[in-house]
Chain A
Amino acid sequence: MKIDLFITCLNDAMFPRTGEATARLLERLGHEVRFNERQTCCGQMHFNSGYQHDALRLVRHFVDTFRDADVVVAPSGSCVGMVRDLYPRAAEWAHDDALLAEVQALTPRVFELSEFLVHHQGLEDVGAYYPHRVTYHQTCHAMRVLRVGDAPLRLLQRVRGLNLVALPAVDQCCGFGGTFSVKNPETSTAMLADKVQHVMSTNAEACTAGDNSCLMHIGGGLSRLQSGTRTVHLAEILASTEHEVFA
């Protein structure tokens, strides 16, 4: 299958290894992977911060970039959630019917990585090897907007060598929320404190998730506490094999 990667702006700039892992994983599974260099950002940061006119510019750019793609896969539940759930709202609120039609034509072809693998491809064992104790954080957008369900867990359960430990209060938000963490830093920190405590209680070597934004937040708390537990994106675990330890 021809797959267009959507490597979100955060992943492109801050977490390039997640993008690499996604590309390598999908190629290993036999897909033809493409990266359209015109892509930039989904516009979520603008939209969620209240700058919806500015976000519209990025919505249009996204639609222009991926209009001809067969399938778009992104290693981010949050950004795919923006595209699938909020692009139609953005077009509606701007009263742009032409854009709405384009968005509706494109969004059914945009997938988050774990939902693409499990729900779209019917795949659970991707041939990964990752010999570590890992706990999984369910990100809000993947869980409640995209409804990926247990897709990431099913993928992790099939990773050889991986010791998966349950995270207490797994359905609780980590407190990132994009600019929420900057506009309401104390409240965000209070939420993070509980999340970090839960992660540390698992005694895991790594906390994984399908979104580097949440992981950046949780990882930032773990790092500040010198906890010795780190964060790793799900794609990096799935890309790792006996031959190539990716993450």
Chain B
Amino acid sequence: MSAGGIKPARPFPAAARDTLGNAQMRRNLRHATTTIREKRQRAVDELPNWEALRDEAAALKDHVMAHLSEYLLELEASVQARGGQVHWARTAQEARSIVAALAQRHGAQEVIKVKSISTDEIELNAGLAAHGIHAIETDLAELIVQLAEDQPSHILVPAIHRNRAEIRELFQRKLGAELLTDDPKALADAARTYLREKFLSTTVAVSGANFAVAETGTVCVVESEGNGRMCLTMPDVLISVMGIEKVLPTWQDLAVFLRVLPRSSTAERMNPYTSFWSGVTPGDGPQEFHLVLLDNGRTDVLADDVGRQTLRCIRCSACLNVCPVYERTGGHAYGSVYPGPIGAILTPQLLQLEDENANTLPWASSLCGACYDACPVKINIPEVLLYLRGQISDAQPPSVQAAAFKVAAWVMSEPHRFEGAIKLARTGQGPLVKHGAIHALPGLLAGWTASRDLPAFPRQTFREWWRQRPAAQEHGPDRPEDTSETAGNAWEPL
């Protein structure tokens, strides 16, 4: 099952080592992310006011964060006024218990689910299974992941790491489908046959929520397949689990996000299915509606001035699709239902920076900044990564590495010390240098030379050259002096 959760089982470098070695996954991911990257760019370029929309979306989210408790209370009142019930869950455990108790009250042995990352976050499927309730994923990709007893590796495209041949084999084995080809239509038909029966026979459904409007108590799910709409309309009981940051004040505000979300996530002008429900309507749709408001670490993120912007996230996954690290390692390396750049900042924060493995995630980035450029709500992910690195390092006990950086800062804060250190390194490198380059380094730096050469320190530093140049302040096009003595970088001149 697609259990999920947000606690990585291993540190990122160790988990990445395994996924990097999976050539099939690497090819699948490269193909998928390259395609969606180009499509997204085209979809975004169509809008002349894209930057203004991003600013507006970011400002709206910041406004909500500044008044979160007020809007949540308004949402609660609106939902109740329309016949829905609201439950507050401080932790993943509380949320699981609430959903399980509701399902049990209706004697459900099976529930159908709309794709929902917040229920993956709280490991709801496993929580329900502990009560003998089987959760059936109805999103095609989530279903693939569930049948394969795998983990999602992308926020929006959970089975992005799988190709059609793998899916055909899986459906044959798990659904007993007779599939002559791995044609997408044949695969979708096999899933439809299985899911239709579930839609018609199951009375309790669980969904997530993309947004909720405080003024009317309306909850919203945005999807591509229509399976979500089946879950939202056909069962008798609907239970929606929603992170508290998803609330918006008004319908007007929703309009901004329904413009930025599809273009950022699926590169579409508008997604095929957008469903709204407000409480219950007698004789139409589910007759019982429960909204579970999930904290699970969010108020701690909210309390942090720099980290707070993380809660603007609308789970569009644009940052994943442009991230060079994600493209190589895939989502599993992040060990959380939130992979990629947003996962690298969200996961450790939701765990209050107390999970050792999650705390390796802020370093799982080359800080190239592509995520920040792509983010429709302008989360400055590189800034938060750096901030978290500082917070985590500060809380760690003294280490060899920390001491080395302290010494380096001391050395570099005085030019004569810095110069002395270079001279020392220049002398010390002797045995390591072969043909002007270093091919193997010891200790902490061994990782560098596993795949790369390093140039040797040249004979002269810049400042040594500067001091000895004959007429430092003269300038003219044809200075006669010979520069050959100052050559000496490993990468020889052409």
Contacts and interface: CB of A to CB of B under 8 A. Distances in A.
A140 B494 contact: no
A86 B451 contact: no
Given A140-B366, A185-B447, A221-B452, A243 B478 contact: yes
Query: Chain B: interface secondary structure?
Result: helix
Q: Which among A33, A178, A189, A231 has the greatest number of chain B C-beta atoms within 10 A? A: A189
Given A217-B452, A223-B437, A40 B414 contact: yes
A39 B419 CA distance: 11
Contacts of B392: 50
Nearest to A36: B415
A198 to B, nearest CB: 13
Interface string B364-388: 1111111011000000000100110
Interface string A230-247: 111000000001011111
Nearest to A145: B369
Nearest to B388: A50
B448 interface: yes
Contact of B325 (A51, A89, A127, A191): A191
A28 B460 contact: no
B489 to A, nearest CB: 6
A102 interface: no
Given A180-B367, A186-B17, A190-B328, A243 B477 contact: yes
Contact count band on A: 35 or more
A51 B493 contact: no
A172 B490 contact: no
B383 A177 contact: no
Given A11-B462, A57-B409, A190 B494 contact: no
A14 B325 CA distance: 28
A51 B415 contact: no
B142 to A, nearest CB: 27
Interface stretch (A17-25, A113-121, A151-159): A17-25
Contact of B479 (A24, A48, A183, A217): A24
A86 B384 CA distance: 12
B24 interface: no
A139 to B, nearest CB: 9
Interface in A189-219: 189-192, 205-206, 216-217, 219
B161 to A, nearest CB: 15
A85 to B, nearest CB: 9
Contacts of A127: 477
Contact of A247 (B368, B373, B494): B494
A9 interface: yes
Given A12-B463, A184-B363, A247-B494, A189 B412 contact: no
Contacts of B475: 27-28, 30-33
B418 interface: yes
A181 interface: yes
A77 to B, nearest CB: 12
A127 B478 CA distance: 12
B279 interface: no
A51 B405 contact: yes
B69 interface: no
A50 B402 CA distance: 9
A55 interface: yes
Contacts of A183: 13, 363, 447
Interface in A146-186: 171-173, 175-186
B20 interface: yes
A30 B394 CA distance: 47
Contact of A46 (B373, B405, B465): B405
B329 A187 contact: yes
Contacts of B405: 45-46, 49, 51, 54
B393 A51 contact: yes
Interface in B392-412: 392-394, 402, 405-406, 408-410, 412
A175 B366 contact: yes
Nearest to B401: A49
A173 B324 contact: yes
Nearest to A42: B412
A17 B486 contact: yes
B413 interface: yes
A223 B279 CA distance: 65
A182 B486 CA distance: 29
B20 A37 contact: no
A191 B366 contact: yes
Contact of A38 (B17, B415, B486): B415
B342 to A, nearest CB: 17
B401 to A, nearest CB: 8
A218 B12 CA distance: 24
Interface of A: 7, 9, 11-17, 19-20, 23-24, 27-28, 30-33, 35, 37-41, 43, 45-55, 57-58, 61, 86, 89, 93, 127, 132, 140-141, 144-145, 171-173, 175-192, 205-206, 216-217, 219-221, 223-224, 230-232, 241, 243-247
15 contacts: A9-B418, A12-B462, A20-B465, A40-B418, A45-B408, A50-B362, A51-B393, A132-B494, A144-B372, A145-B369, A180-B365, A182-B445, A187-B20, A189-B452, A247-B494
Interface of B: 12-13, 16-17, 20, 26, 306, 324-325, 328-329, 362-370, 372-373, 383, 386-387, 389-390, 392-394, 402, 405-406, 408-410, 412-415, 418, 422, 425, 437, 439, 444-445, 447-448, 450-455, 457-458, 460-466, 472-479, 483, 486-487, 489-494
Given A15-B455, A40-B415, A190-B20, 11 more contacts: A27-B476, A40-B414, A140-B366, A140-B370, A173-B324, A183-B13, A184-B363, A189-B450, A223-B491, A224-B439, A241-B477
Rank and list the top 3 A-B pairs by shortest CB-CB distance, nearest first: A177-B366, A185-B447, A220-B452
